[in-house]
Amino acid sequence: MRRCSCRSGSPASWIAESSASAKATRDAALLDLRPFTVRNFRLSVFIVMIAFGTMLGTVTVLPIYLQKGLGISALATGLVLLPGGVIQGVLSPVIGRVYDKIGPLPLVIPGAVLLAAGQWALTTLGDATPLGVVIAMHLVFCAGMALIMTPLMTLSLSALNPRLYAHGSAIMNTLQQLAGAAGTAALVAALTIGAAAAAGDEVATGIAEVVGTQHAFVVGAIIASVAVVAALFVRRTPVQHR
Domain containing residue 185: CATH number: 1.20.1250.20
| pLDDT tens sequence across 183-229 | 999 999 999 999 988 887 666 767 889 999 999 999 999 999 999 99
Answer whether residue 198 is part of any domain: yes
Mean pLDDT of the chain: 86
The answer to the question of residue 157 being in a domain is: yes
**Residue 236 belongs to a domain:** no
CA 181 from chain centre, in angstroms, equals 10
- What confidence tier does 82 reach under pLDDT thresholds 50, 70, 90? very high
Query: In which band, very low, low, confident or very high, does the pLDDT at 1 lie, cut at 50, 70 and 90?
Result: very low
- Let me know if residue 13 belongs to a domain: no
Give 144-176 pLDDT, tens digit per residue. 999 999 899 999 988 898 899 999 999 999 999
Q: Is residue 193 part of a domain?
A: yes
In a domain, residue 160? The reply is yes
Number of structural domains the chain divides into? 1
pLDDT band at residue 31, thresholds of 50, 70 and 90? confident
